Amino acid sequence: MTAHEQPANAASTDADGGVREPAKVRRGIPDATVARLPVYLRALHSLAEAGTSTIASDALAAAAGVNSAKVRKDLSYLGSYGTRGVGYDVTYLIHQISRELGLTQRWAVAIVGVGNLGHALARYGGFATRGFRVAALIDADRSRVGERVDGVAVSHLDDLAQVVRESGVSIGVIATPAGAAQDVCDRLVAAGVTSILNFAPTVLSVPPGVDLRKVDLSIELQILSFHEQRKASAVAAFDLRDTRDTVSS
Amino acid sequence: MTAHEQPANAASTDADGGVREPAKVRRGIPDATVARLPVYLRALHSLAEAGTSTIASDALAAAAGVNSAKVRKDLSYLGSYGTRGVGYDVTYLIHQISRELGLTQRWAVAIVGVGNLGHALARYGGFATRGFRVAALIDADRSRVGERVDGVAVSHLDDLAQVVRESGVSIGVIATPAGAAQDVCDRLVAAGVTSILNFAPTVLSVPPGVDLRKVDLSIELQILSFHEQRKASAVAAFDLRDTRDTVSS
DNA sequence: TCAACTTTGTGCATGCATTCACAAGGGCTT
DNA sequence: AAGCCCTTGTGAATGCATGCACAAAGTTGA
């Protein structure tokens, strides 16, 4: 079933893609840092709107919900963009992070599966405001084809390759039932899509060079359930002990 | 703004919740393992449906998209449930993982914000099939109150506390716009909710003892954008070098 | 009963991420 | 211009996660 190994969640670290880097400066930004850059970016945008022009690492850390040392180390991977004694220039930092994340261009995104979730994603404002454009909607149900969601017409799955190529899509979002996901994924890859975000509750496999991330709603809930149960049983143990022995060590 | 520190994404490790454990056996399952248990669980369910009765760690690893040593180590935290030379009993393992994750009971979930995403979540089948029950839908828009989604009526935000208590909700899902999220979060916590899953694109703060996880669609896309750009620029560098100097070191 | 085979469970080494703590550096005030 | 104060940027220590490699343990077949 699985032709290729699928790394749990992180992007597939892509093993140098077969291309030897010019190796001038080592540009190895850790995955954990990349995952936090969008959070900083959002905080910075709202600071900019509020009229803040410079910000220190600990204020940014508070706004992003992390530790200030982490902020400084993360930002140091991008370069030395801060001023000692002052902090970081908000506008400049927004520019640098955006550039690093590749958000200075508008990526065309295709959403496959126009059910409840696909609909919600297509209408989600957060995409458009941050460098993404929903360029194609695709569904396997012919009765849906032609329907327009936010100005974008739904195309049929059979036309996926054509639509993807014509609209220059490089990122695909899978919002289909689990059973259809691997087939859709293969079609996307065959059509030249090199980054995929999977919402279907199933493990997908992709060839090397294609990045795959997943978002799984029910997994998140199950993780919460684990902690919820632990809390509940801790309380139960406490209550129990409390009735037997009120003196704690 | 942030009264309490918010750990980036992982559950808030809850600092012992003020309760000293009986400390009989050390039950410290690593966060990374907890996050993978639901994946194993899903793979096992589909194996069970296919009629498989026992499975070895490397087959399970393939189905879950991870390394086999990781599977064994993860499962060893739950206990010694495998049989050497044979593998794991699928049904028994499903039972043990479910128990560990607290899925033997049905958690009541409240979804706040019945917009596009809230609607999609309320109708998402994956919740009901895995130990969760959408017990309440809440929205701030009075024109939505009374509307039914999959048999559950929408209540008004003002009645949140009452609804949460009456239906025994312990897990809250926030699917509101970013601006409303912290207020909703505070209301949920005040009503006794101790686990929150946040879909709003903002950093929330919760008091100690409350677990918070977030799912951010636009962050996931931005991470893909980063890798996509890196691939694009690697190819560009390759093309460039290719025209100038076809001999690589 | 015994030997060969299979697979688990885990000690250990390695690598990545986080956090601390502080020197280096820049602005501001006098 | 000189010293004070503030904040960055980063070496170093610690902790967590991953993956290897193998002994321990069980099954199967003769």
pLDDT in tens, B200-233: 999 999 999 999 999 998 999 999 999 999 998 7
- B220 vs A56: CA distance, rounded Å: 26
Reply yes or no on whether the pLDDT at B165 is more than 50: yes
pLDDT at res. A128: 76
CB contact set of B101 (below 8 Å; sequence gap of 6+): A222, A225, A226, A229, B34, B37, B38, B41
- Higher-pLDDT residue of B148 and A245 is B148
Task: Determine which helix (DSSP H) or strand (DSSP E) holds A52, and give its type and residue range.
Answer: none
Predicted confidence band of residue A23 (pLDDT cuts 50, 70, 90): very low
pLDDT at res. A174: 98
CA distance A85 to chain B (A): 23
Taking CB atoms and an 8 Å cutoff, what residues of chain B touch A123?
116
Name the CA radius of gyration of chain B, rounded.
Answer: 23
Average pLDDT over residues A139-164: 97
Smallest Cα–Cα separation from B221: which of A115, A138, A77, A107? Answer: A107
CB contact set of B20 (below 8 Å; sequence gap of 6+): A248, A249
- How many CB atoms within 10 Å of residue B120? 20
CA distance A60 to chain B (A): 11
Predicted confidence band of residue A124 (pLDDT cuts 50, 70, 90): confident
- Higher-pLDDT residue of B111 and B247 is B111
- B158 vs B140: CA distance, rounded Å: 8
Predicted confidence band of residue B125 (pLDDT cuts 50, 70, 90): confident
Reply yes or no on whether the pLDDT at A231 is more than 80: yes
3-class DSSP state for residue A155? strand
Reply yes or no on whether the pLDDT at A99 is more than 90: yes
Task: Compare all CA atoms of chain A with the CA of B6 and give the residue at the minimum distance.
Answer: A65
pLDDT at res. A27: 63
CA distance B43 to chain A (A): 8
Distance of CA A109 to the CA centre of its chain: 13
Task: Compare all CA atoms of chain B with the CA of A44 and give the residue at the minimum distance.
Answer: B202
Reply yes or no on whether the pLDDT at A11 is more than 50: no
| CA→C1' distance for A70 and C20 (Å) | 11
Question: Is the CB of residue B245 less than 8 Å away from at least one CB of chain A?
Answer: no
pTM: 0.88
Cα separations in angstroms, A37 against A107, A151, A186: 18, 31, 30
Reply yes or no on whether the pLDDT at B26 is more than 60: no
- B85 vs B91: CA distance, rounded Å: 18
Reply yes or no on whether the pLDDT at A15 is more than 60: no
Tokens of A249: 């060590």
Task: Give B 161-180 residues with CB within 8 A of chain A.
Answer: 170-171
Task: Give B 42-101 residues with CB within 8 A of chain A.
Answer: 42-43, 62-66, 100-101
Predicted confidence band of residue B240 (pLDDT cuts 50, 70, 90): low
- A119 vs A172: CA distance, rounded Å: 15
Strands A82-83 and A87-89: antiparallel
Predicted confidence band of residue A163 (pLDDT cuts 50, 70, 90): very high
Reply yes or no on whether the pLDDT at A139 is more than 80: yes
Cα separations in angstroms, B49 against A69, B43, B93, B96, B126: 49, 10, 14, 17, 16
Question: Is the CB of residue B240 less than 8 Å away from at least one CB of chain A?
Answer: no
Reply yes or no on whether the pLDDT at A166 is more than 60: yes
Best of B219, B244, B247 to substitute, by most chain A Cβ atoms within 10 angstroms, is B219
- The mean predicted confidence, pLDDT, of chain B is 87
Shortest CA to C1' contact from B13: nucleotide:
D16
Q: pLDDT tens for residues A26-58?
A: 468 999 999 999 999 999 999 999 999 999 999
Question: Is the CB of residue A119 less than 8 Å away from at least one CB of chain B?
Answer: yes
- A54 vs B230: CA distance, rounded Å: 29
What percentage of chain A exceeds 90 in pLDDT?
Answer: 77
- B61 vs A111: CA distance, rounded Å: 29
Question: Is the CB of residue B2 less than 8 Å away from at least one CB of chain A?
Answer: yes
What percentage of chain B exceeds 90 in pLDDT?
Answer: 77
| CA→C1' distance for A9 and D28 (Å) | 39
Reply yes or no on whether the pLDDT at A241 is more than 90: no
From edge to edge, which strands make up the β-sheet containing A82-83?
A: A54-55, A87-89, A82-83
Q: What is the 3-state secondary structure (H, E, C) of chain B?
A: CCCCCCCCCCCCCHHHHHCCCCCCCCCCCCHHHHHHHHHHHHHHHHHHHCCCCEECHHHHHHHHCCCHHHHHHHHHCCCCCEECCCEEEHHHHHHHHHHHHCCCCCEEEEEECCCHHHHHHHHCHHHHCCCEEEEEEEECCHHHCCCEECCEEEEEHHHHHHHHHHCCCCEEEECCCHHHHHHHHHHHHHCCCCEEEECCCCCCCCCCCCEEEECCHHHHHHHHHHHHHHHHHHHHHHHHHHHHCCCCC
- Higher-pLDDT residue of A238 and A214 is A214
Shortest CA to C1' contact from B78: nucleotide:
C9
Smallest Cα–Cα separation from A196: which of A112, A86, A76? Answer: A112
Predicted confidence band of residue B249 (pLDDT cuts 50, 70, 90): very low
Reply yes or no on whether the pLDDT at B124 is more than 50: yes
Question: Is the CB of residue A149 less than 8 Å away from at least one CB of chain B?
Answer: no
Reply yes or no on whether the pLDDT at B22 is more than 70: no
Lowest pLDDT segment from A9-13, A73-77, B40-44, B198-202: A9-13
Cα separations in angstroms, A224 against A160, B99, B193: 37, 14, 12
B221 neighbors B211 (Cβ within 8 angstroms) = no
pLDDT at res. B239: 62
